[in-house]
Chains A and B, each alone.
Chain A
Amino acid sequence: MKKKTLSLAVTALLALGLLAGCSAGGGGTVNTDGSTSMADVMGALTEAFREKEPDITVNYSGTGSGSGISGVLDGTCDIGLSSRELKQEEVNQGAVAHVVALDGVAIVVNPKNTVTELTTDQIADIFTGKITNWTELGGADAPIAVYGREDGSGTRTAFEEIVGVEGACVYTNEYGSTGDVIGNVAGNENAIGYASLSAVNSTVTAVKVNGVAPSEATVKDGTYTIQRPFVMVTKKGVELSEAAQAFLDFATSAEAAEYIAAAGAVYPN
């Protein structure tokens, strides 16, 4: 009996040890935390970085831009990840932005939809509920299901600001992640939604906006207008660990360009 209790106690202690994993990294570990939109880019960068510096482990947890920025400000992670520009109050608290990539926000519809080109005004009208049927856009006679992200999401903030529909959107459904939006647009012929260009796959169609198809080239030269930065965030006055500094240097170097491109985002410089 005593032995059992002991082993139970040991198990409990070990389980507690798991929780300790969230603390700021030292030595060869870099903890990054933030935007779920940056998952692909982070995956590509981490993998490339591992080959270069096999001793350094880079952890990524996709919790959201807000969490990532507050994480770096609170010191719970080394580098915060944000898929929107920093807010003034965040800059005031000491957040420093390092732009590593640009990302187009694609407007996606179901592949069966015959509407494949929209203007910014039409997009605004759809998302504010002025246009409610696909016939008004030359499509089939079907109601429009407007899918978006929840309040506070970097993608939503970026989209609403760029299109000029801040706070005026009438959503049919809201989802908690980029993947959910794409999955649900792929599953509903009536749906329209927005998602990070890097996350768009063949299950949905990304429409042309003002005649320009979203692609790396059109995002980089600025002709595709619905785009946003991917930012690595550090805190002013806090010195990064050697490992974190190495990773940040790598991510912002010209060397990272091909990996960022491979992940579907655009190298900014």
Chain B
Amino acid sequence: MQILFTLCGLVAVGFVLLISVYLIISGLPAIREIGLGRFLFGKIWAAGQNQYGILPLILTSIYGTAGAVVIGVPIGFFTAVFLAKVAPKWLAGIVRPAVSLLAGIPSVVYGLVGMCVLVPALRNWLDLPAGDSLLAAIIVLAVMILPNIISLSETALDAVPKEYEEASLALGATKLETYFRVSAPAARSGIAAAVVLGIGRAIGEAMAIMMVAGNVANMPALTKSVRFLTTGISIELNYSQDGSLQRQALFSIGLVLFLFIMLINAFLNLVLKREKED
């Protein structure tokens, strides 16, 4: 029996190793051929003309994720405070399952709703030729990371010892002051972990944003069509010729994305470790 458990554990490690090694092996040739500088900092991605610069993709992924965090984190955090501290029991009993439901919605459905509702709305409001844009992607991503941020922040806030808050209230602080000056700082590493997890989800998302971002490899601008690292791979993979530089460059994008996500994970581990030590 124990062997089976060990085996299962090894399977997971094996897959991680397999994927890492495969990605590195298949991602490096194109970078070598194109040149690391021209690959990472080239401003034009046009496989048809042998131009493989992924700076627009990298910046779009960073801006898109940052935008989602800027919108999603405050809303998520306030919702968590509401659920953990403010809401009457019956209301929290409605909101909490709704949040979990939000987490369970497949990303293609987010994309579909974004495509059919958000994109036309943006086109009409902002008088654009087409509503597919970085802005649309940011809004969709912000909603997608909400459940992560809410549930983790709520858990962190719940874990704050009651005595802290009682002491604060006894000293004459209002409830609001207590939540933001006492509870939130005490739960800060948990909240930070929630934010990092949200970032991880946002930067790795492909399907939903492919449907609302327009997918042209422009330098990022809020109302322009943009291409993320993830969508850059998925949109061109099917039609790229096997063994061609285009196909190899797509793997190189995968490698860059992989490194981004590794960095975020390492950062998350650091945050969680600090929480433990606290």
A75 nearest CB across to chain B (Å): 12
Whether A151 sits at the interface, judged by CB under 8 Å, is yes
A154-B48 Cα distance, complex, nearest whole Å: 12
Whether B148 sits at the interface, judged by CB under 8 Å, is no
B86 nearest CB across to chain A (Å): 41
A174-B227 Cα distance, complex, nearest whole Å: 9
On chain B, the residues within 8 Å of A65 by CB distance are 239
Known: A143-B129, A167-B49. A150 touches B243 (CB 8 A): no
CB contact list, B32-52 vs A, under 8 A: 46-49
Whether B123 sits at the interface, judged by CB under 8 Å, is yes
Number of interface residues of B (CB under 8 A): 33
Whether A96 sits at the interface, judged by CB under 8 Å, is no
Known: A150-B215, A174-B214, A187-B120. A63 touches B130 (CB 8 A): no
Whether A269 sits at the interface, judged by CB under 8 Å, is no
Contact yes or no, B238 A188, CB < 8 A: no
Known: A74-B242, A152-B241, A190-B129. A176 touches B210 (CB 8 A): yes
A167-B43 Cα distance, complex, nearest whole Å: 16
Interface of A is mostly: mixed
Known: A143-B129, A151-B48, A166-B48. A67 touches B238 (CB 8 A): yes
Contact yes or no, B215 A167, CB < 8 A: no
A175-B130 Cα distance, complex, nearest whole Å: 13
Known: A151-B236, A171-B216. A70 touches B130 (CB 8 A): no
Contact yes or no, B129 A145, CB < 8 A: yes
Whether B272 sits at the interface, judged by CB under 8 Å, is no
A143-B244 Cα distance, complex, nearest whole Å: 37
B residues lining the A interface (CB < 8 Å): 1, 4, 46-49, 115-116, 119-120, 123, 128-132, 210, 214-216, 225, 227, 234-236, 238-244, 246
Top 4 A-B pairs, shortest CB-CB distance: A70-B242, A152-B239, A64-B238, A64-B239
Given contacts A66-B241, A74-B242, list 5 more A-B pairs with CB under 8 A. A5-B4, A65-B239, A160-B48, A173-B225, A187-B119
9 sample A-B contacts, Cβ–Cβ < 8 Å, listed by A number: A36-B238, A66-B240, A150-B236, A151-B239, A151-B246, A152-B239, A172-B214, A174-B227, A176-B234
